[in-house]
Amino acid sequence: MALFEDPERDAWQKPAEVIAAMEIPPGGKVADIGAATGYFPVRIARAHPDATVYGVDIEPDMVRYLGERAEKEGLTHLEAVLGEPADAKLPEPVDRVLLVDTYHHLAERPAYFRKLAGSLRPGARVIVVDFKLDSPMGPSREHRLTPEKVGEEMATAGYRKVGERDLPYQYVLSFERT
């Protein structure tokens, strides 16, 4: 668990920049898919106390941990959700979906995002944050995807890129439904 919450992560992950880039609408509904211990969902919930935040993971222990953490930290608008490998299992449609270091783990990505489209509100965005090919950290090189490859797969799933920015070791891509 400590790996996910390493204080040094803030320096290169730039969570405030990522959250600002998400442009969460007032009272918005946000899902972090691959939430693990809650690094981003907790920060989103603190930055947007009027939002509903769903931290989704497929590992029951992570979901349990995040649920307990949200309760302990008084984040009543943060809900831990047990997803499935092919379905986020969101309890309601959302305005923003965040995937940090998770996109490359998904199997059948175009099918996953076509299914996810049914859980998006009008004007919703999907934000993908993942490691650059030349990053000194992150998964092994064979598990990394270029931003172009992510864009191609998302286009196949029916999305268009509406934003892009760089972090020290990662790229941030924003997509909307076409």
Q: What is the pLDDT of residues 141-156, one digit of tens each?
A: 889 999 999 999 999 9
What share of the chain in percent tops pLDDT 70?
A: 96
Residue 5 pLDDT level (bands cut at 50, 70, 90): low
Is a pLDDT exceeding 90 seen at residue 36?
yes
Residue 2 pLDDT level (bands cut at 50, 70, 90): very low
| pLDDT at res. 12 | 78
| pLDDT at res. 52 | 98
Instruction: Give the residue-averaged pLDDT of 18-31.
Output: 96
* Domain at 27-177, CATH from 3.40.50.920, 3.30.1490.110, 3.40.50.150, 3.50.50.60: 3.40.50.150
Distance between alpha carbon 100 and the CA centroid of its chain, in Å?
5
CA distance linking residue 18 with residue 32, whole number of Å? 12
Domains in the chain: boundaries: 27-177
| Residue 48, both tokens | 């947007």
Kindly state the DSSP code that residue 14 receives in the 8-state scheme. -
**φ, ψ for residue 109, nearest 5 deg:** -55, -50
The residue count for the chain:
178
Is a pLDDT exceeding 50 seen at residue 1?
no
Instruction: Give the residue-averaged pLDDT of 99-109.
Output: 95
| pLDDT at res. 126 | 98
Q: Which region among 11-15, 66-70, 125-129, 134-138 has the lowest average model confidence (pLDDT)?
A: 11-15
